[in-house]
Amino acid sequence: MTQKHVLLPVPDAAVRDGANSRKVFIKTYGCQMNVYDSGRMADALARDGYQPTEDMQEADLVLLNTCHIREKAAEKVYSALGRLRDMKKQRAAEGREFMIGVTGCVAQAEGEEILRRAPSVDVVVGPQTYHRLPEALRRAKGGERVVETDYAIEDKFEYLPDTDKAKIRARGVTAFLTVQEGCDKFCTFCVVPYTRGSEVSRPVSQIVDEAMKLVDGGVREITLLGQNVNAWHGAGPKGEEWSLGDLLYRLAAIPGLARLRYTTSHPRDMDDRLIEAHRDLRTLMPYLHLPVQSGSDRILKAMNRRHTAAEYLSLIERIRSMRPDIAMSGDFIVGFPGETDADFEDTLRVVEAVRYAQAFSFKYSTRPGTPGAELDDQVPEAVKAERLERLQALLLKQQHEFAESCVGKVIDLLLEKPGRMPGQLIGRSPWLQSVNVDAKTSRIGDIISVRITGTGPNSLFAEVA
């Protein structure tokens, strides 16, 4: 589980309030969508004069934006809440306000249980109702302990404030844009359908409008987000249904938008229009995250993935025939209930066949409420650990081989942030690798031509071409 602090520029309301402005610290766990959600929650709170801070000690409000994918996610949240409880007692003794909120997927899954186990929490808000956060905080200040975890009837995106240009510029030259939420796939290992709800697609007009505002604010690369992003089917300008491929063609036409990406995809939703977009759109980066989870047909069926290993490999072949330079990324779960040595060897064979540029792999962990948690024949932890070690060794070898294959290539590099050394800048390659380059005459946001000169453990080195 990754943890990130979402820090945003001082909103206008906070500037007007001056010393009386309140400060919010948001700790974000998990996926890119949670990062996006944290930003939008901060935007909503800005209207009430909340100024973001990176120092929890000076915050008047602390929000934990949580993820429920990994094992013991809820317990980690309760542990953090224990520390915040002590801070709240100290603030009370000083006569200072201090509020605590839990948002995101753990909030959705636990609901009232959070208030029972952590009496210091003021508000609990699920991922479908974070647009109600400011109102929930106002109610909490009146003495109510608030839980908002129903699946909102209204479109939360319609109720969120626009992000102004200054805040967009402060966030950088790349941005996430949520286009789809929820999941209808019901993989037996996954809690997402129960915490994010069924698949919902934002309309084209709403997405294009947000994308244009991002570009107008200086964003050069947009990554479209969704639990099953390629299952997006939104309403077009005349009410007709568009596919993700259609949307990518439309977004690629926005002047000033240099790069497009999307994540995370499901193999069942890679249709012809989307594959053709990879062939036709130079704006669409040649990198695709397409999880397979297992290489065993028997385990894939038990996972309810609804595709076979052969179908997945055939799909990869079709995509590469359209875009030969595409780099593949994937997700893997080892030790799913009933997985045998032979099943695991099937997974290794898929990895060998695909040759991933990057991948994420995990030991299976039971998620309460999912069908997988009820299955017999759970794999011993020691076996899972040994299999994961073997799989990760192979994936790391492939990642290093892909990085080595880039040495000597001349690529376009989007410069995103300063490096550690004077004159050094860091950007992302078309294949999402971090690249360090001495570019004293260039600026963040520029796309420059560089030659890859070497590899490091987790990045590449380049010189201006």
Instruction: Please list, in sequence order, all residues whose beta carbon lies within 8 angstroms of the beta carbon of residue 409, skipping any fewer than 6 positions away.
Output: 451, 452
Instruction: Please list, in sequence order, all residues whose beta carbon lies within 8 angstroms of the beta carbon of residue 121, skipping any fewer than 6 positions away.
Output: 81, 100, 101, 102, 114, 115, 145
6: number of CA atoms within 13 Å, CB side? Answer: 28
Using an 8 Å Cβ cutoff, are 164 and 348 in contact? no
CB atoms within 10 A of CB 304: 14
Q: Would you call 303 helix, strand, or coil by DSSP?
A: coil
Using an 8 Å Cβ cutoff, are 178 and 202 in contact? yes
DSSP letter string over 167-233? HHHHH-SEEEEE-EE--S---TT--HHHHT-S-EE--HHHHHHHHHHHHHTT--EEEEE-TTGGG--
Could you give the C-alpha distances from 327 to 9, 108, 175, 214, in angstroms and in order? Answer: 35, 35, 21, 26
Using an 8 Å Cβ cutoff, are 293 and 332 in contact? yes
Strands 99-104 and 460-464: unpaired
31 is in an annotated binding site: yes
406 is in an annotated binding site: no
Question: Cα(245)–Cα(225) distance, rounded to whole angstroms?
Answer: 14
Task: Quote the DSSP letter at residue 241.
Answer: B
Using an 8 Å Cβ cutoff, are 455 and 400 in contact? yes
Calculated CA dihedral for residues 275, 279, 284, 286, nearest 10 degrees:
90
Q: Would you call 257 helix, strand, or coil by DSSP?
A: coil
Q: Would you call 149 helix, strand, or coil by DSSP?
A: coil
Using an 8 Å Cβ cutoff, are 5 and 74 in contact? no
Residues at the binding site for [4Fe-4S] cluster are 31, 67, 105, 183, 187, 190
Residues at the binding site are 31, 67, 105, 183, 187, 190
